């Protein structure tokens, strides 16, 4: 396995800390890593600002070369990443191999995207010197990078949403240096990926301040990072409580900055009458598989199924229950996540009007499925039943009427996804639900399950709060780059002074 230093990477230098913390692997050896401090944050941010004076004005071709080289360096360390990743997280090797493919794939996709140049949204209004009553100046518009970006590694995706994940790839593609606060759930995985990025930066001759990784640390490290005056935006994937605290700090700055937080979602699935009558058992089985995929540790985990009361709903419930009974214990990413899952399960189980359909027994770091049922009327009267439980827990909500189903849809908070299971005879109800649900979620899907997010030009991974803190953005797909750009208008500038991307 690639050797670990246990140090921070700050502007090309591996920096030790005064104290260390021990990793908490699911299996395998314990490693020790330097604890981050505010001084580490300040050094990284200052280096990032220095790098921006060059990197922010580099060519699209140069940045595309860097992104592709990072992908190549990650692939070259693939076996080492998988080995320590499985040890730290308990995730199977196949999952980590697939996630690495997604990680390098999005780096290469972003390289292609910026080379094409469409993301710059270049616009030109020719001068109209003879226009009456006033002439019009010559105007150009183009998107420009905003400066250094802070990225927080995610617990549930050690590759695709962490050190070299979508936020980092988006920022680098835009021309923004990145300071990453690594997640303590997988520090070894993070370090090896940082080694890959450092190798790519050196090979491409890029300023080393373009990327830094600060390991571990207490809350003060994260607070210092989002409040540092040189940081211009933050990318975050994590809990509602943690994300909201950082969001508030960004808003309270002397110069408030955007906080792009993806915070959680219950991803409701509406099973419409004709669909449940025709294939309720199959939908129930498929829902159970999606619900328990990866121990339910996906932000798109479909935690709630909504149906109309009747025999067909009963068949769906029986099928889902039977499928969930066959699912054994799965290792969760951390002891803390497992404890939070048990707490969430107990909260739902103890709620008034909730019936337990499947009860299992969790151990310290493992999760087993739970299934509960309630009425739409009870769900509408208890806001806690609409809160995310991160893990393989499902809640079936049975409505007495179409009006009650529509009322439930209207009462939803912001979601990453909403799903419709429908057949041809459900089109009328689907047309009633669609204008409600498109105000609730960033992605609407039919006759599928939301786990699994395609990295593409058209993907939206975001939604109204609390799914995310910025409903106009996505953290997945090429449009994610736009988070770290801002429009600049150039009026009557000589053409040879304009940015090169406007001179062509």
Catalytic one of 299, 388, 404, 418? 299
299 is catalytic: yes
CB 162 within 8 A of CB 182: yes
Q: Does a cis peptide bond (omega within 30 degrees of 0) precede residue 133? A: yes
| Cβ within 8 Å of residue 232, ≥6 positions away | 146, 147, 148, 149, 176, 257, 484
Q: Which residue among the candidates 88, 191, 262, 388 is catalytic per the annotation?
A: 262
3-class SS letters over 164-198? CCHHHHHHHHHCCCEEEECCCCCHHHHHHHHHHHH
Residues in a beta bridge with 20: 34
Alpha carbon distance 95, 93 (integer Å): 5
Alpha helices for 240-390 (secondary structure H): 240-252, 273-292, 311-325, 335-349, 376-381
* Token output for 398: 């049975």
Q: Give the Cα separation of 60 and 460 in Å (integer).
A: 24
In this structure, what DSSP letter does residue 142 have? E
| DSSP code at position 314 | H
- As a whole number of angstroms, the distance between CA 358 and CA 321 comes to 7
Instruction: Let me know if 362 is a catalytic residue.
Output: no
At residue 143, what are phi and psi to the nearest 5 degrees? -80, 135
The residues assigned a catalytic role are: 262, 299
């Amino acid at each position: 396995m690639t050797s670990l230093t246990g140090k921070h990477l700050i502007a090309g230098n591996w920096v030790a800390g005064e104290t260390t913390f021990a990793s908490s692997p699911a299996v395998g050896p314990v490693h020790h890593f330097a604890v981050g401090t505010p001084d580490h944050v300040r050094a990284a941010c200052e280096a990032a600002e220095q790098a921006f004076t060059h990197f922010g004005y580099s060519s699209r071709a140069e940045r595309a070369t860097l992104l592709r080289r990072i992908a190549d360096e990650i692939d070259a360390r693939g076996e080492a990443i998988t080995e320590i990743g499985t040890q730290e997280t308990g995730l199977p090797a196949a999952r980590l191999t697939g996630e690495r493919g997604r990680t390098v794939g999005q780096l290469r996709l972003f390289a292609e995207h910026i080379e094409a140049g469409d993301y710059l949204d270049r616009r030109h209004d020719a001068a109209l010197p003879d226009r009456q009553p006033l002439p019009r100046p010559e105007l150009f518009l183009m998107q420009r990078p905003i400066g250094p970006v802070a990225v927080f590694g995610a617990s549930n995706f050690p590759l695709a949403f962490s050190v070299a994940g979508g936020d980092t790839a988006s920022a680098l593609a835009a021309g923004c240096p990145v300071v990453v606060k690594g997640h303590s759930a997988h520090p070894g995985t993070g370090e090896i990926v940082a080694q890959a990025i450092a190798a790519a930066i050196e090979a491409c001759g890029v300023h080393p301040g373009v990327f830094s990784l600060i390991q571990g640390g207490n809350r003060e490290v994260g607070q210092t990072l989002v409040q540092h005056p040189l940081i211009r935006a933050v990318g975050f994937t994590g809990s509602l409580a943690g994300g909201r605290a950082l969001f508030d700090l960004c808003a309270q700055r002397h110069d408030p900055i955007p906080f792009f937080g993806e915070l959680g979602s219950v991803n409701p699935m509406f099973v419409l009458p004709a669909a449940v009558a025709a294939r309720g058992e199959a939908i129930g089985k498929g829902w159970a598989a999606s619900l328990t995929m990866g121990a339910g540790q996906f932000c798109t985990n479909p935690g709630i199924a909504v149906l109309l009361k009747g025999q067909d709903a009963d068949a769906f419930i029986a099928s889902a229950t039977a499928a969930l009974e066959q699912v054994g214990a799965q290792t969760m990413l951390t002891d803390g996540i497992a404890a939070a899952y048990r707490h969430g399960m107990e909260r739902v189980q103890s709620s008034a009007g909730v019936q337990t359909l499947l009860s299992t027994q969790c151990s310290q770091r493992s999760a087993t499925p739970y299934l509960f049922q309630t009425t739409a009327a009870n769900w509408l009267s208890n806001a806690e039943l609409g809160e995310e439980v991160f893990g393989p827990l499902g809640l079936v909500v049975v409505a007495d009427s179409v009006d009650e189903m529509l009322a439930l849809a209207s009462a939803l908070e912001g979601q990453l996804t909403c799903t419709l299971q429908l057949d041809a005879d459900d089109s009328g109800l689907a047309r009633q639900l669609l204008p409600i649900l498109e105000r609730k979620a960033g992605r609407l899907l039919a006759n599928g399950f939301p786990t699994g997010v395609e990295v593409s030009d058209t993907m939206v991974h975001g939604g109204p709060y609390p799914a995310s803190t910025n409903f106009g953005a996505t953290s997945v797909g090429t449009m994610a780059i736009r988070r770290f750009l801002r429009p600049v208008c150039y009026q009557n500038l000589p053409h040879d002074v304009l940015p090169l991307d406007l001179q062509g």
